[in-house]
Amino acid sequence: MNFGAQVTDEIFSRRELLLRGGAGFGALALSGMLARDKAFADAGSLAPGQAHFAPKAKNVIFLFMEGGPSHIDLFDPKPLLNKLAGQRMPESFKRPITAMGETESPLLASPRTWKRHGQSGAWVSDWLPHTAGCVDDLAVIRSCWTNGINHSGGVCQMNTGQPLAGRPSLGSWVNYGLGTANENLPAFVVMTDTKSTPTNGPRNWSAGFMPAAYQGIRLSPGAEPFRHLNIPKGVTPATHRRKLELLRRLNEQHRATREHQSELEARIRSYELAYRMQSAAPEAVDLSRESEATRRLYGFGNRDTEPFGRCCLLARRMVERGVRFVQIYHGAGSKWDSHSKMEENHSRQCRQSDLPTAGLLKDLKSRGLLEETLVIWGGEFGRTPMSEKGDGRDHNPTGFTMWMAGGGVKGGQVIGSTDELGLWATEDRLHVHDLHATVLHLLGIHNLDLIYRYKGRPETPTINEGAAYTKITSG
């Protein structure tokens, strides 16, 4: 496509919007309004809501199993592993550098019961009975690989494309590329199942070198869904309105002699938006409007499943209202990290997440939302066939499983494979860049054509690499 021409038109239309003000001011959204001339000139952004080509998906919900779930105990059965359990990995397997240096430790059997499920007959272990019931909606990708061998690098890379910090996260790129569909809510929302902070903290959903307007905004279930949303205690609504009115007058007087400065107008609007948000957000997070059946579907009423279920239900409500990209951390703070006591760890993690995950898929489907909502499941890496501390597994970045569902993905397929022990991805290997390119592809964005200029250099979401696995829509 001829990007240059489009950018010019786009600059013009946004500038015009800014200057026009009033009712035509649709482009200003919570997650941002760039207001510096330079920023317009630099923008390689698409027109809000406009993709490179017809999108399959409108929204994304990324269920991030933080800490690294064990693919060989969940989606990728390895009979050879149980056969060789207790022995050293045969010499024929190439040795990776692992986080804990467990390359020569004895192989650890997977004691799971495996079954084929659904019409597609995909394998899922007994740890995920509810997800197994949805398997015909999933494209299980067994051949993922990444570079980061530690949590920090791994989580960073799964979010931003590279293990080193500093780049915008995928949600920011989507926000930058597609803009928002609801100007009263952020375009990119992040939740965690507990109060724990995920590895790397807010850096995971930061906009990196892009303006902060594109970063993810944390949504917390409770009285104040977004930070500083509520009018402070001790300020009556009447006083609050009076203050906003005085502020508006001051700003109008200030602007009267500075008509040409569109940023001042944008600032005035940002206060109006904040005001609108104060009424829109509480409704968006009000789960009391959900039926008992729906709540049960997400695991409400059960101490194990409710925290993650609440996030999943909120995610559905967000995408219903046009939020573009929702990310939920399950096991925030590396809780899936099972260097020892695999059995105990994964039993707990699966118990907490399996039912709400399936609930989300079913709920989206029954409301007709799954077709336009891409759901992604996975962690920053998988786990090794080699044991650690006798009953755990080390990090495995060289081969692991993720799945995608909805948003144009053809369900009931298994993509790629790992070697006979599940250590290295072998067929149809998909690097994080390819996975990100695939997500963008489903959203109608070509990964190499979405450009942001940083320090004069054209930057793309997948660092000029990666290709979408387009067969994901057809199987």
Residue nearer to other proteins on the CB measure, 38 or 303: 38
By the rule CB under 8 A, 150 interacts with other proteins: yes
By the rule CB under 8 A, 213 interacts with other proteins: yes
By the rule CB under 8 A, 423 interacts with other proteins: no
Using CB under 8 A, which of 94, 116, 243, 471 touches other proteins?
243
- Tokens 């660092």 correspond to what residue? 463
Binding mask of the shown chain, residues 261 to 290, with x at each position contacting other proteins by CB under 8 A: x-xx-xxx-xx-xx--x-------------
Show the 3-state SS of 264-289: HHHHHHHHHHHHHHHHHHHHHCCHHH
Residue nearer to other proteins on the CB measure, 82 or 340: 340
Stretch that binds other proteins, among 52-60, 81-89, 210-218, 305-313 (CB under 8 A): 210-218
Q: Round to whole Å and give the CA distance between 113 and 59.
A: 35
Least CB distance to other proteins at residue 241 (A): 10
Using CB under 8 A, which of 82, 120, 251, 473 touches other proteins?
251
Least CB distance to other proteins at residue 406 (A): 30
By the rule CB under 8 A, 59 interacts with other proteins: no
Q: Round to whole Å and give the CA distance between 134 and 168.
A: 32
From the CB of residue 105, how many other CB atoms can be counted at a distance below 10 Å? 21
Give residue 148's identity as a one-letter amino acid code.
G
Using CB under 8 A, which of 458, 470, 471, 475 touches other proteins?
458
Buried b (16+ CB within 10 A) or exposed e, 295-308: bebbbbeeeebbbb
Query: What DSSP designation does 183 have?
Result: T
- Going 179 to 180 to 183 to 187, the CA torsion angle's sign is negative
Binding to other proteins in span 98-137, by CB under 8 A:
98-101, 103
Decide the pairing of beta strands 138-145 and 400-405: antiparallel
Q: Round to whole Å and give the CA distance between 282 and 29.
A: 17
Stretch that binds other proteins, among 197-205, 318-326, 371-379, 428-436 (CB under 8 A): 197-205
Q: Round to whole Å and give the CA distance between 30 and 278.
A: 11
By the rule CB under 8 A, 201 interacts with other proteins: yes
| Cα–Cα distance list, 106 to 61, 89, 100, 388 (Å) | 37, 7, 14, 8
Stretch that binds other proteins, among 46-54, 97-105, 337-345, 433-441 (CB under 8 A): 97-105
By the rule CB under 8 A, 94 interacts with other proteins: no
Binding to other proteins in span 426-445, by CB under 8 A:
none
Residue nearer to other proteins on the CB measure, 30 or 312: 30
Using CB under 8 A, which of 88, 94, 116, 258 touches other proteins?
258
